[in-house]
Structure 1
């Protein structure tokens, strides 16, 4: 039964929620959520409704992300059981986002959640703030003496930026990227395996040696999705200007970021296709989300692979991707804010996070003993170097002045279509997308000034 659950978790994580719905331009984007379509529906008046709880020990928990929690048994196993254990008197109600239980549906019924589980970077604005549910937890953090220093600093910065300098959420689940490598291919050509902290230059040299035709077999040396690489770039370069409502892709650092990965796909035979072909056995290295790696380990038990950290830039030698983060929000309408915060505080305890890590769910605690528990309940990962996930620190997102206009910058379009389809040079591709960002920012500001919610490009 446990094996079946793990398989289901890996599969669900890999295809939706945290790790990869299809975005509007057809690229695979980790944080495109399954509730995205609600932003395209008729506008709903924000709620001034009181929370659905009646005070006392009633608590309404709403999971707007991760379809794993659509199954009530999974919610109970991964979240509910811990709440009931610590707070046995709580009357816990859980609802997952779906047709009939979207934000606007709950608001129309006057049933506002106490706690919302939601994607932070984009959906703080286009969902939580759109429906006027945001609530700053700073005073509760002080009141209950919650130690945020144990939380991933980059995740806290993501929240701060999305919360206009406040704390509308606390980090809860993270999707992370790792390099998987095929040991058989490395052994075949007598090359040393990748190590944690390998630079992109070293990865590039390996990719050139491992991209080859061997009889009827074509080997690709390296695949890394450029959209993910750009969105969560390890040099912390902003796509939106930190101080003004304009794009920021016109920098030498962005040119370096683009050219760094572009060279891999100019190796003859190593053009970008997809990272997900790795388990077919003809790809030497693939940078992908750990949820996909877990799925490969289950579906391809004979695949001889191991893990290393994502390649790094020499000037940011300890930095992996920026966080791809889901957080827990308390709504301003909740009548039970203190109880809701105590529940969140317990869910972020070492005890609970270690148990969740065993089920291969990455949490935000920078506690070695908790991190070392990762995937202990996944037999297929027993001999894998899973600590590669924790060998580096999350890159810090660039801070941005509160009050500026937010859009989801379409950085994926630098490569697709501008480079891959239209063969533009890197500087031109960046300029084209930067102009697109400026246009989208202007349209968003105009929509807000006209009384709209400004979520068209979020």
Structure 2
């Protein structure tokens, strides 16, 4: 055992001296220099901590007063005990099994699971599919906690309402400490996604989402040039968009006809009513979820603007496709892809469809550009269509938190984001990791259109009600919008009937939900029908 060396008399003197004008004597400095140059046995951590303040004083004199603060800061860090790791390091030689709660095994393994197990061959990923349905936006699946208890998953795939509820109940592991300690890169993720998750987590981050959904306005430059119409611009209002669409010829001659705006496939005029209403902060229910609120002057103004445009013939509503239609059939039925519509509101994945239509199916390429979706003039920087995609979180009860965190990190990595961008079609979401988008050469405006807007600073209060209400309400609203277009009803009559019938549908849905036995509850949602 090495004999403990007691400090000499001059060393004790160091601890008593104050650093002041004049500093240490030449004799004392010589002693320090002599001691530093001596061959010493290894110094224990305790002894280093004991004498580090004195040595710091000497070093300060050596490097000069200008470096004193920096040197003192560095030495203080060495003197402090190391912070306990939020998660223990992973043993690469120890085999582990991770269980992921996801609705479809093949989908998850192809998207993330296989690549993760290649990186970590000691970890086996098993997918528990008992949840049965995907985490749709705005939906809270009633069997979620039952399946958590049964399957005991380490990683969960959640919707925003599910994430918020489980975080509040303390059933999710908070990532804040491990993110800070490991320096996980949040700066290059869409700040709106991170902020929304932190807000819904009560100030903490209990999950990460690799993507988000948002609309942008695609337009055909050639059609605008041909008809001498100025291009769309970022930050237009819905009124400006509809006015711009009305400038294109909508006469009876089908050959020369150009639609100003084409509605997305499987959508109709009522969907535009909803989008325009959401941009203005309107909702179909009051915050308590007890009252339908559509028979108002604000909603009537939105209905009038959109349906007048549809009646005027410059909004194209795509008819339903035949069963077993191919992708080629879908593309050739799209007026925007065939050059018959000047504008269309679409998600990020529409770019892949445009490319596939021209490269695979030899359709004439469209000279397209893109700007941000219409916004409300009072909130020009907020996206009314913004929604967070699937959120991946770690079960607070998991015994494999480190491995589970590594999987969540991988899902939200730059590598996974780039893979998502290379997928041909089928993925319509926008990657939340921004450098992957910046890698898309020549598409700077595309990146700007999908990243410059943020989610609403004050999100609409969307009460959670049985999803049966939304399906019944939507059916009513679609039919009433058709009645207005066909001249059978006025907008005032339609919104009044929707208010009355919608209220009845709400009461019926709530009564039906209460009568269902435990374990057979229907999903509840907080979306807009």
The TM-score range, normalised by the shorter chain, is 0.5 to 0.7
Contact 2:260 2:315 in 1 (8 A): yes
Residue 307 of structure 1 pairs with residue 386 of structure 2: no
Aligned residues: 383
Counterparts in 2 of 1:52-451, with a 5 A limit? 57-64=96-103, 70-71=106-107, 74-76=110-112, 80-82=114-116, 84-85=118-119, 87-94=120-127, 111-120=151-160, 124=162, 136=170, 139-145=173-179, 152-153=191-192, 157=196, 170-213=208-251, 216-224=255-263, 225=267, 226=269, 228-229=271-272, 233-268=278-313, 270=315, 272-273=317-318, 276-301=334-359, 302-304=364-366, 305-320=368-383, 321-323=385-387, 325-331=389-395, 334-337=398-401, 339-349=403-413, 352-353=416-417, 356-357=420-421, 362-365=430-433, 367=434, 369-373=435-439, 375=440, 385-395=446-456, 398-400=459-461, 405-407=465-467, 409-410=470-471, 412-413=474-475, 415-421=477-483, 423-450=488-515, 451=517
Q: Find the counterpart in structure 2 of residue 47 from structure 1.
A: none
1:136: how far off? 4.3
The RMSD of aligned alpha carbons is 4.6
1:266: how far off? 2.6
- Unmatched 5+ residue regions in structure 1? 1-54
What do the CA deviations read for 1:167-223 (whole angstroms, capped 9, x no partner)? 875433323322221222222212222222233333223211214346733221112
What do the CA deviations read for 1:226-272 (whole angstroms, capped 9, x no partner)? 45545562233333322353333344443344334333213235353
Change in 2 beyond 3 A, CA 1:253/1:397 = farther
Change in 2 beyond 3 A, CA 1:350/1:250 = farther
TM-score (ref. length: structure 1):
0.66
Q: 2:126 and 2:350 mapped to 1: Cα distance?
A: 31
SS in 1 for 2:217: strand
Contact 1:135 1:329 in 2 (8 A): no
Name the larger-Rg structure: 2
- Which structure has more relative contact order (CA 8 Å, sep 6+)? It is 1
Contact 1:199 1:311 in 2 (8 A): yes
TM-score (ref. length: structure 2):
0.58
Q: 1:152 and 1:438 mapped to 2: Cα distance?
A: 38
Q: Find the counterpart in structure 1 of residue 72 from structure 2.
A: none
Q: 2:198 and 2:249 mapped to 1: Cα distance?
A: 40
